[in-house]
Amino acid sequence: MKKIIIAAVAKNNVIGKDGIMPWHSKEDLKHFKETTMGFPLIMGRKTFFSMGGKPLKGRLNIILTRDKNFENPHEDVMVFASIKEAYDYCENQNYEKVFVTGGGEIYKHEINNVDELLISEMKVEAEGDTFFPQIDEKIWQVAEEIVYSEFTLKIYRKRN
């Protein structure tokens, strides 16, 4: 099962401000939806609630929390206490791929554990309080670049 980080990142590495994304890009949301449709999304508890507390349709939404008393907020959502448990579940369900969809804490934890990074490099700088972790160029290289009007999609794969 391929594990993929998908993120939209400002020029200055910002990904969030006050619990939400600091820009609204329909073009990036379309790319996110088309890319992830049908596959599980693994996200931190804060990111789930930043989307209004409702799951994104057509995809299994998995929330990560260490809170043992956390009540599942929605019947279509699964909750796990560790990323490994979430991956194991998806693997057992025979998913071909799974998307790690943030936020900052989850990206930081997983950046070098996944197989691919799909980074929408937004063409703006943004004020914010949450950042994408440093991409280590000794580990990762840009394998493909696709230019959109509001961002450039950079696909990173691991160096051999």
Ligand X SMILES: NC(=O)c1ccc[n+]([C@@H]2O[C@H](COP(=O)([O-])OP(=O)(O)OC[C@H]3O[C@@H](n4cnc5c(N)ncnc54)[C@H](OP(=O)(O)O)[C@@H]3O)[C@@H](O)[C@H]2O)c1
Would you count residue 55 as binding ligand X (CB under 6 A)? no
Would you count residue 16 as binding ligand X (CB under 6 A)? yes
What the block records as the tokens of 153 is: 């999609």
Q: Which of 5, 62, 64, 114 binds ligand X (CB under 6 A)?
A: 64
Report CA-CA distances (Å) from 97 to 72, 91, 135, 155.
24, 9, 21, 15
Q: How far apart are CA 98 and CA 92, in angstroms?
A: 12
Residues 6+ apart with CB under 8 A from 106: 42, 43, 44, 47, 64, 83, 100
Q: Which of 1, 20, 56, 126 binds ligand X (CB under 6 A)?
A: 20
Q: Which of 4, 15, 42, 62 binds ligand X (CB under 6 A)?
A: 15
Would you count residue 93 as binding ligand X (CB under 6 A)? no
Q: Which is nearer to ligand X, 57 or 66 (CB)?
A: 66
Q: How far apart are CA 120 and CA 8, in angstroms?
A: 4
Q: Which is nearer to ligand X, 8 or 153 (CB)?
A: 8
Residue 3, phi then psi, degrees to nearest 5: -105, 125
Residues in contact with ligand X, total (CB under 6 A)?
28
Minimum separation from the CB atom of position 32 to ligand X (A): 8
Would you count residue 116 as binding ligand X (CB under 6 A)? no
CB 36 within 8 A of CB 59: yes
Q: How far apart are CA 133 and CA 130, in angstroms?
A: 9
Would you count residue 21 as binding ligand X (CB under 6 A)? yes
Minimum separation from the CB atom of position 40 to ligand X (A): 15
What the block records as the tokens of 5 is: 């980080």
Minimum separation from the CB atom of position 160 to ligand X (A): 28
CA 25 to chain centre: 16
Residues in contact with ligand X by the rule CB under 6 A: 7-8, 15-16, 19-21, 43-47, 50, 64-67, 81-83, 101-106, 109, 130
